[in-house]
Structures are given as structure tokens and as C-alpha cells.
Amino acid sequence: MTADTYRVPDLAPGTFHRTEQIIKKSRFITSVAHTKTPEEAKQFIEKIRQEFADATHNCWAFNASAAGSTTQIGASDDGEPHGTAGKPMLTVLVHCEIGELTAVVTRYFGGTLLGTGGLVKAYQSSVRQALETLPTCEKVIVRSLKVTVEHKFLALILRALPGFRGTIKCQEFGMDVMLEIEMPEQEIEKFSSMLNNMTSGAVLIELQEEPTAD
């Protein structure tokens, strides 16, 4: 993984990854899905809650953004003592180097109390167990930019783009050429420098405000 990439669950739409363990007769079932937004995360959580409606608890945590990010996160203890389930699960997710994922740990109480420390360990180990076998793939952080140049530079730009892992999303032809280009965020500075050198500064480069992931 490089600075312009992160890993996400490699799961087909509508599917999820599941593991299970027994701790002091309590059954812990962990379900993990690829969720790109908080809305997708909440839909998945509700799906699991309905599947295990008879469970003692359905605790959950999600990070709907890039790996390590805390901009779109959430967690719930779902009736377990405060701070013993959701937050510990979220800690694992935020530090696991995988983004865009939701974990729901379903517990069927087995009759033996685990205590505060025991609950934290149980929920964290359940999430870690699921992540160990979770299939993942690499996602590239990309950014869009608009480039306006004279027509004579178009062919040179098209030849140079593959070297910066860039793709053209849109192009318009008028007095000048306007290209909407998408490329890994780390390549933007080098690409912009190349354009300025190529055109002797006769280029307009407009960056999209926020990077996205492709």
C-alpha cells in the first residue's frame, strides 16, 4: 500500500464476510461488509439486526471513508455496558489499514458474565478474527482536474497521460481544448509541472477540491 492507495473489502455487491467464535459459552458472530457511505453502513447493520433479531446483542462499528480516516465513523454497544463493544470494535477498524467497511458482532449470551475487560477483548478479537480472512483489494485515491490548453499541445498530453496513470473523463473543443482528467493524487504535482514546462506556462489547471477513490 502506498500513500495514494488503501485497501477495501473485496466483496461482491450485496455479499459479506462472516466468522464465528465461542467465548465462555457465548457465541460471537462477526459480519463484515464493504460500505462506501454511512448510509450503506446503516443499511447493512439493519440487515444483520433483522437476520439475528433474537440475539442478545448486535454491536457494530463502521468506517465509511479511507483506511485510518475518522471523518465518517460510527459505533454502538447495543445494550452491552458502555464502552465495551462499539468503541473497541471501531478502534480495530480504524487501525486495520482497511477502509470502507462495517463490522457487526452478534452475541448470543451463554450464561457466563465476561466482565468489562472480557467484553472488550471478546468484541475486539471477534473483529480481528474476521479481518484476518477478509478478502481485500487496492483502491487508488484519485483527483480530478480541468486542463485548458491550445490545440497544438493535445497530442503531447495524450501521450504523456499513461505515465501519470491519468485518464480523460471529458473533453471539449473550442478556441482551446478543455480536458477533464482523473489521476492518482500523488501524480498531480508532477503532471502540473510537466504541463507548465511543455506549454511555457500557457495552461490553465483547475483542481477538484476533494480527492475521491476509484
Tell me what pLDDT residue 11 has. 96
Contact 130, 17 (CB under 8 A): yes
Q: What is the predicted pLDDT for the residue at 1?
A: 44
Q: What is the CB neighbour count within 10 angstroms for residue 164?
A: 17
- H-helix segments, 78-203: 86-94, 115-132, 154-160, 188-199
- pLDDT at residue 44 tops 80: yes
pLDDT at 210: 60
- In 3-state terms the chain splits into helix, strand, coil percentages (rounded to 5) of 35, 35, 30
What is the pLDDT, as a whole number, of residue 24? Answer: 97
Rounded CA separation 92/211 (Å): 25
Using the predicted structure, report yes or no on whether residue 37 has a pLDDT greater than 70: yes
Domains in the chain with CATH codes: 5-134 (3.30.230.30), 141-213 (3.30.70.240)
Residue 18, all three cell numbers: 462472516
Report pLDDT for 5: 83
pLDDT tens-digit series, residues 123-172: 999 999 999 999 999 988 888 999 999 999 999 999 999 999 899 999 99
Question: CA separation (Å) from 34 to 12, 17, 124?
Answer: 9, 9, 19
pLDDT of residue 142: 83
Q: What is the pLDDT of residues 73-131, one digit of tens each?
A: 999 999 999 999 999 999 999 999 999 999 999 999 999 999 999 999 999 999 999 99
Which 3 state secondary structure label does DSSP give 69? Answer: coil
User: Above 70 in pLDDT, residue 197?
Assistant: yes
The residue type found at 177 is V
Q: What residues pair up with 84 in beta bridges, in sequence order?
A: none
